[in-house]
Chains A and B, each alone.
Chain A
Amino acid sequence: DAGVTQSPTHLIKTRGQQVTLRCSPKSGHDTVSWYQQALGQGPQFIFQYYEEEERQRGNFPDRFSGHQFPNYSSELNVNALLLGDSALYLCASSQAGQIMNTEAFFGQGTRLTVV
């Protein structure tokens, strides 16, 4: 089991550009959540996808959007990049419907730098 995989690991973008980050969940997981971790801070919840729909959303502008595919993998898109979008973006997967044995598994993140 490869666990949660994210790509790319690093990327550099220019202000105003658009970026797409990708996440493959852990085998058997059907729910994907995205978090933004600014330098020196804890992760902040962006949104969550389940059954190809956005189910929960944190306090992030509409420039942040996502998608989930039938194989449960997910993309995070950020439009009109700002310098403040520079952060580590973490993907976490989990299995919906389970109350016990509950934990989210995280990927290694994508480090986005906006210049």
Chain B
Amino acid sequence: AQTVTQSQPEMSVQEAETVTLSCTYDTSESDYYLFWYKQPPSRQMILVIRQEAYKQQNATENRFSVNFQKAAKSFSLKISDSQLGDAAMYFCAYRKFYNTDKLIFGTGTRLQVFP
């Protein structure tokens, strides 16, 4: 069975600084997707970034980038130039190849951003 582990329950960062959130996963599949979701107090899960396992290039979305290490089964999220609005719970998630497969989430990391 696939598992996702987030070992940092809480992280904090100063505004404008950079922070990295860690995630490891376990799977025997070769093709799959990894995601980072943000959950603000409004509770809605918002997709931050997506990585296809067959792509060697790390995904980037504006201030958000990932470090995808397939052999190590590691998938970290780097937030650059942190903003107050980045404060939220961040969940790492795994999904098999097809888009209707279930998402498997980690336990989340609470990110605090200080001015």
Report which A residues bind B (CB closer than 8 A).
31, 33, 35, 40-45, 48, 50, 55-56, 58, 88, 90, 92, 94-96, 98-99, 102-104, 106-109, 111
Closest B-chain residue to A110, C-beta based? B43
Nearest CB in chain A to that of B92: its residue: A42
How far does the alpha carbon of A92 sit from the alpha carbon of B44 in the complex, in Å? 10
A103, B47: Cβ atoms under 8 Å? Answer: yes
Chain B residues engaging chain A, CB cutoff 8 angstroms: 4, 6, 33, 35, 37, 42-47, 50, 91, 93, 97-108
Measured CA separation A31–B101 after assembly (Å): 10
> Can you give 11 contacting A-B residue pairs, CB < 8 Å?
A33-B100, A33-B103, A42-B105, A43-B91, A45-B103, A45-B104, A88-B43, A94-B99, A106-B45, A106-B46, A111-B43
Q: Which residues of A contact B42 (CB under 8 A)?
A: 108
Q: Across the interface, which residues of A come within 8 angstroms of B46, CB to CB? A: 106
The interface residues of chain B lying within 8 Å CB-to-CB of A56 are 101-102
Q: B102 is contacted by which of A45, A90, A96, A98 (Cβ under 8 Å)?
A: A45
